[in-house]
């Protein structure tokens, strides 16, 4: 898609891409087939392939590698991505710990591999993951359950970013069952998670016997009724993607409603996001990952609206990316991670104001998208 960028923005995007190539080349050489998560003092010390193979973020590093391979053709990215994909087979072996985030894990690894190379083994892995996700569907409540343990009625908005795996399986198998599950789930999220003002709950608790709404815990936000910023972005991008794959207009309208709310909130804070938009003014907690994820969702929306509306979303995305670059990015190729000051949740300290792998992924995806060098991984 052509975004009709202003000259100064086009120059910034091209310069940022050159910095991405330098940085990711160095990181690929250092990290290889390890699976990074949070950088500590500029080093990805933990390897999730060894410490927690079922961790939900384990697909973002191979996603970055496939994006760079697609953009540059450099074989080292493909080789490293294939190595991570093989590591993730251990998660299938464990099975019982797997969760609603299998889309995050295998869309970025096996499905990306199949889309780019046609690898049949990768297609099988992707379909395996899709069947696992579909198996979490509750037909009485019309939702895909989140997490495990004793939470049979719990659903989180993050799940909207995982159901593109089901749309992909629908197309690969020519089987509408996967779409029915995905759309039932999206409809439930749309009705019971998105509020009238465009903000979203992070967590909803449903009666697993009939789908009635029982509770709305605060989840990773400040409290029940608050507005966890990254949760808003999962809704923006997730509903825009569901519109792409189904054409259901309500999904696009929902994505736009949440996007307009998010843009209004971040306009107040220099186009970057607080962890929660409805939390005490002090202390100030930032989540750099929310704005870069939102930017990707805004660019997705821009692909589905008319010319007179498109530029609003493109310009908002660019403002968020530039602000993130100015305030939070570290481009030193000897330093692991790019986007600093990410936060996993409001109330935890171990993952507050740290560089988290998905922040780098979404920043990269947005920049490549503006240059028409990306591959749609979702």
Per-residue pLDDT, 2: 80
CA distance 217 to 179: 28
- Which of left, alpha, beta for 310 (phi over 0: left; psi -120 to 50: alpha)? alpha
| Catalytic (active site) residue 306 | no
* Catalytic residue, candidates 101, 113, 184, 360: 101
Give domain status of residue 45, yes or no. Answer: yes
Phi, psi at 229, each rounded to 5°: -65, -45
94-122 b/e (C-beta count within 10 Å ≥ 16 → b): eeeebbbbbbbbbbbbbbbbbbbeebeeb
Cα 20 from chain centroid?
19
* Catalytic residue, candidates 158, 276, 287, 325: 158
Q: Is the dihedral of CA 303, 293, 275, 57 positive or negative?
A: positive
Closest CA to 40 of 266, 365, 353: 353
Q: List all residues 6 or more positions away from 285 whose beta carbon is below 8 Å from its beta carbon.
A: 274, 275, 276, 279, 343, 346, 352, 353
Task: Identify the CATH number of the domain in which residue 190 sits.
Answer: 1.50.10.10
Give domain status of residue 212, yes or no. Answer: yes
Per-residue pLDDT, 147: 93
Give domain status of residue 225, yes or no. Answer: yes
The alpha-carbon radius of gyration of the chain (Å, integer) is 19
| Catalytic (active site) residue 101 | yes
Residues of the chain with pLDDT under 50: none
Strand spans (E) along 264-339: none
Per-residue pLDDT, 329: 98
Give domain status of residue 122, yes or no. Answer: no
- Pairing between strand 154-156 and 143-144? unpaired
- Which range of residues forms the domain containing residue 246? 7-51+137-370
Give domain status of residue 115, yes or no. Answer: no
User: Do the beta carbons of residue 375 and residue 116 sit within 8 Å?
Assistant: yes
Give domain status of residue 114, yes or no. Answer: no
Q: What secondary structure letter does DSSP report for 215?
A: E
Give domain status of residue 78, yes or no. Answer: no
- Number of domains within the chain: 1
Give domain status of residue 124, yes or no. Answer: no
């Amino acid at each position: 898609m052509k975004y009709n960028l202003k000259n100064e923005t086009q120059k910034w995007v091209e310069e940022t891409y050159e910095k991405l190539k330098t940085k990711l080349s160095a990181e690929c050489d250092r990290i290889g087939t390890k699976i990074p998560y949070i950088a500590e003092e500029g080093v990805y010390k933990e390897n999730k392939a060894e410490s927690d193979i079922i961790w939900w973020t384990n697909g973002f590093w191979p996603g970055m590698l496939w994006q760079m391979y697609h953009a540059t053709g450099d074989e080292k990215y493909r080789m490293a991505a294939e190595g991570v994909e093989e590591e993730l087979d251990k998660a299938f072996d464990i099975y019982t710990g797997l969760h609603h985030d299998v889309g995050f894990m295998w869309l970025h690894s096996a499905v990306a591999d199949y889309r780019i190379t046609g690898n049949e083994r990768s297609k099988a892995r992707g379909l395996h993951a899709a069947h696992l996700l579909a198996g979490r569907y509750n037909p009485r409540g019309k939702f895909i359950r989140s997490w495990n343990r004793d939470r049979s009625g719990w659903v989180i908005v993050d799940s909207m970013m995982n159901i593109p795996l089901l749309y992909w399986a629908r197309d690969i198998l020519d089987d509408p069952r996967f779409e029915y599950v995905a759309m039932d789930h999206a409809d439930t999220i749309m009705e019971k998670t998105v509020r009238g003002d465009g903000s979203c709950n992070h967590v909803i608790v449903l009666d697993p016997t009939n789908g009635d709404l029982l509770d709305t815990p605060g989840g990773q936000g400040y409290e029940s009724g608050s507005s966890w910023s990254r949760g808003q972005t999962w809704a923006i991008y997730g509903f825009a993607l569901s519109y792409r794959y189904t054409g259901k207009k309500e999904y696009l309208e929902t994505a736009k409603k949440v996007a307009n709310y998010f843009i209004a909130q971040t306009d107040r804070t220099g186009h970057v996001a607080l962890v929660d938009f409805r939390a005490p003014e002090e202390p100030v907690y930032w989540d750099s990952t929310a704005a870069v994820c939102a930017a990707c969702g805004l660019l997705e929306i821009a692909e589905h609206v008319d010319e007179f509306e498109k530029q609003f979303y493109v310009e908002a995305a660019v403002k968020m990316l530039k602000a993130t670059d100015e305030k939070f990015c570290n481009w030193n190729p000897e330093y692991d991670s790019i986007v600093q000051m990410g936060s996993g949740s409001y109330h935890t300290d171990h993952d507050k104001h740290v560089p988290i792998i998905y922040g780098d992924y979404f920043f990269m995806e947005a920049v490549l998208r503006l240059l028409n060098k990306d591959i749609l991984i979702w």
